[in-house]
Amino acid sequence: MPIKTDLTDPQKLRIATQSLTTEQLATVCDRVQTLIDERHQLRQQKLDESNIKQMRGLMSKAGISWEEFQDALK
């Protein structure tokens, strides 16, 4: 069973990566950036969905359908 290391602590991260080559570190960097990008996209998607839900609720209160709203944008 692998030992979990707190990789958010800069000192522990430095120790954990001392034996890696430059290429391995670059690969890790690329993978971490991919995870960051995915997390950002997920957060943005959830924010967009929340905004749309809120907007639809307000439109419903105002008596405007989604189709009417989209037609007004054309």
Tell me the per-residue pLDDT of 11-57, one tens digit each, with 9 for 90 and over: 988 888 899 999 999 999 999 999 999 999 999 999 999 999 999 89
The token pair that represents 37 in the structure block: 């990008």
Specify the higher pLDDT residue, 56 or 1. Answer: 56
Write down the pLDDT at residue 65: 87
Distance CA 67, CA 71 (A): 6
Residue 67 in this model has a pLDDT that exceeds 90: no
Write down the pLDDT at residue 4: 72
Predicted model pTM: 0.65
The token pair that represents 9 in the structure block: 């602590």
